[in-house]
Each structure stands twice: as C-alpha cells, then as structure tokens.
A and B are shown apart, each in its own frame.
Chain A
Amino acid sequence: MQDLLHFIISKYNYWAYLILLLLGLHAMISKNNLVKKVIGMSIFQSAIILFYVSIGLKQGATIPIMEHGHASEAAHQAIEVAAYANPLPHVLMLTAIVVGVSTLGVALAIIQKIYRVYETIEEDEILEQIKE
C-alpha cells in the first residue's frame, strides 16, 4: 500500500499525461464525427506537451532565464545548473504548440472540404456515400 501510494504521488505528472493521452486516443478512434476526432487529436497533443514540460521541471529551480543577465560581469560568474529548469523541453514544446495550431488548421480545412463535397461530417454517412 505504501509503495503504491508512493508510486502514485511521486509520479503523478505521468498519471495526468496518461489520462489525457488515452482520452484523446479513445476520441480519435471511437468518435464518428470528424470534428470530434480532431478535438481528440488536440487533447492527445496537449498530453504530449504536458509530458515534456513536466520532464523539464526541477525541484527548487526557477525559470530558465539567467539572473542578473544584464550585468557585464555576468559572463564570468559561476552558474548553478540546478537553479534553472531544463530549457530543452520548453524549446521543443514551444515550436510544437505553434506547429500544432497550424496542423489543426489543416485538419479543419480538410473537414470543410469534405463537408462541401459530401454535405456531412459523420464518418459512416460519408462511407455510405462513397460505396454507392
């Protein structure tokens, strides 16, 4: 019991990301409406972003911007690595968020085009029309 509790509490960021990830995956597979599928994709994406950002965190560390960075002697002062959060996941997710918005735009554009041709965005109705 103690072990399980420790497992949950010390790694609860992974639990949060896992729940969001599975929610998004389930929506992507099972939903019939294409817009709902895209919403599922967005949730999936958010889960990945949450995962990366939570990895970058360090206990007792501040944001990855150097203190007193303006001072001319700043270049020579000793830098404590443990005092700053890991900048690498932030960089990766920064671009991923904006690219995610662009791919969301492409997905919505494709859905609009599908609606223009088939006049529905329900997957089974589109499949019926294709079979005819």
Chain B
Amino acid sequence: MKLISLVITILLGALLLSATQDLPEWASPDSPASTHLSPYYIENSMEQTSVPNFVTSVLADYRGYDTMFETTVIFCAGITVLSILRRSHRRKKKVIRPRPKRKDKDLILRTAARMIAPMMQLFALYVVAHGHHSPGGGFQGGVILGASFVLLAVAYDLKTILNRLRERFIIIGGAVGVAIYVGIGAICLLLGENFLDYGAWSKILGVTVIEAHSHGMLGVEIGVAITVMCIMFSLYADLSSGGEMDEGL
C-alpha cells in the first residue's frame, strides 16, 4: 500500500509541478485571478453597498447565495454528527470509561476560564457587529462564540454547561440562524426584488437602497454567527461525550 501511494504521490507531484510553470508568479498584481472579477468588487463595493470591507460585501451580498448554502452545509454537518452519534437515554449497559475525579483540583483553570469567557463573547459580538469596517464577520464571530462555550466545557464538565445551554436550544439555534438568513432573502422577494437583493429592505427600514444593502448584510451575518456558534458547540459536545451528552472529556 505504501509503495502504491508513493508512486501515485510522486506522479501527481510531477504533474502538478509541470503545471506550476504556467501559473502566474507569486504576488504578481496582473495575475489572471486579480484582473477579471475582483477589480469590479474593489471599485464598486463602497458605491453599491457602503461597506468598506470588500470581503464582507462579497461574502454576504455579491455571493450571498453561495454563503447561504455554506451555512446550510454547516447546519447539515451538525445534524449529521448528532444523528450518527446520539444515543437514546434508555441505554442498557453503561459504558465504563475511566474518568479521573477532579474536584477542586483545577481551581485556577476554572476561575480563569470563567473570567475569560465573557470577554471572549463580548469580543465575538464586536467581531460580528464591526465586520463591515474591520476584519471580521459572522463566521469568525460565531467561531469565537462557540470557542468560549467549548472553553467552559473543557474547564468545567460538559454537563454543567449543558444545564445552562440546553441541547434542544443549541439545535434550534442552528436552525434559527439558517432561517434568519433565508428569511431576509425571502422578504426581499416579497418586496418585489430578487432573492437576497437587500436593496428591497429600504422600503421597510426607511433608508436609501445603498444603506439597506449594508443593513441586510448585518442581518445575514448575525444569522451565520448564530448557526456557526451553535453547531461548533454541538460538534464538541457530541464528539467529546460520544453522543452521551454526559460529563464529556
């Protein structure tokens, strides 16, 4: 197996290396990737959407349909992990796993995690809300939010966190995030524009079409952040406890 793999790898490497000769030089400003579509985004993003961060405007507006389904993929992944691993509550034999007793042994860890977690959540909200003007957005902020809950679950145990953040709430939250995204797009449809054409929101919000694009993007990013947060924590909870949703690691 090793030999076959080595032969395949070397052959593919040689093939790709010969193709590399035709690729543009590193950091060349007139490479094909930077000359066809991306100048349009850079020139028109501010005029059409009033968002100075081109990455956010391309992500949530110009390519909003793509991002909608990326969010759906994340939600589907969370549901898949749940349906593969989750076991019913009435299990016949208890799986014996060695679990060290660690009461009062990690006082420093728990205290530090409890103080850091709110800061992380506050920073995550800043990353989501300020994603139009600085690096950030729904995906990044959602991951930071999810990581703050994972930190708490590592420092305490999973059960303590799940008492506060119910499993049902996590899954419904993942669905709500996707629903917010699709809902914002569908309301554009009801207002007589295309799907995900946030300019239609100007009729409700009472702002100009350009500003409505910016507000629509913020709403969409909030939906993405909720989905990513819930699914990231759900993945951790399922994988660390083997679908039992008990003490976890």
Contact = CB atoms under 8 A, between A and B. Distances in A.
B46 A94 contact: no
Nearest to B82: A109
B9 A25 contact: yes
23 contacts: A7-B21, A11-B23, A21-B16, A22-B13, A29-B4, A29-B8, A30-B4, A64-B53, A65-B55, A75-B46, A86-B34, A87-B42, A87-B54, A88-B33, A94-B55, A98-B70, A102-B77, A105-B77, A105-B78, A106-B84, A108-B239, A109-B84, A112-B243
Interface string B40-67: 0111011100111111001100010011
A29 B45 CA distance: 44
Contacts of B243: 112
A95 B52 contact: no
Contacts of A108: 239
A131 interface: no
B5 A11 contact: no
Interface residues of B, number: 67
A2 interface: no
Interface string B143-177: 10000000000000000000000000000000000
Given A18-B13, A109-B238, A58 B55 contact: no
A106 B235 CA distance: 8
A65 B135 contact: yes
B22 to A, nearest CB: 10
A125 to B, nearest CB: 14
A84 B38 CA distance: 10
Nearest to A12: B26
A105 B239 contact: yes
Contacts of B37: 88
Contact of B228 (A13, A56, A58, A98): A98
Contacts of B181: none
Contacts, number: 171
Q: Of residues B29, B46, B63, which shows the largest number of chain A Cβ atoms within 10 Å of its Cβ?
A: B29
B54 A13 contact: no
B46 A74 contact: yes
B184 to A, nearest CB: 18
B134 interface: yes
Taking residues whose C-beta sits less than 8 angstroms from the other chain, chain A's interface range is 35 or more
Interface of A: 7, 10-15, 18, 21-22, 25-26, 29-30, 32, 54-61, 63-66, 69-70, 74-75, 79, 81-82, 84, 86-91, 94-95, 97-99, 101-103, 105-106, 108-110, 112-113, 116
Contact of A106 (B2, B45, B53, B77): B77
A11 B53 contact: no
B52 A58 contact: no
B9 A112 contact: no
B2 A30 contact: yes
Contact of B67 (A15, A54, A55, A95): A95
B198 interface: no
Given A84-B54, A102-B74, A116-B242, A14 B42 contact: no
B232 interface: yes
Contacts of B16: 18, 21
Contacts of B46: 66, 69, 74-75, 79
A66 B76 CA distance: 35
A57 B31 CA distance: 10
Contact of B26 (A11, A64, A109): A11
Contact of B12 (A22, A82, A109): A22
B81 interface: yes
Nearest to B242: A112
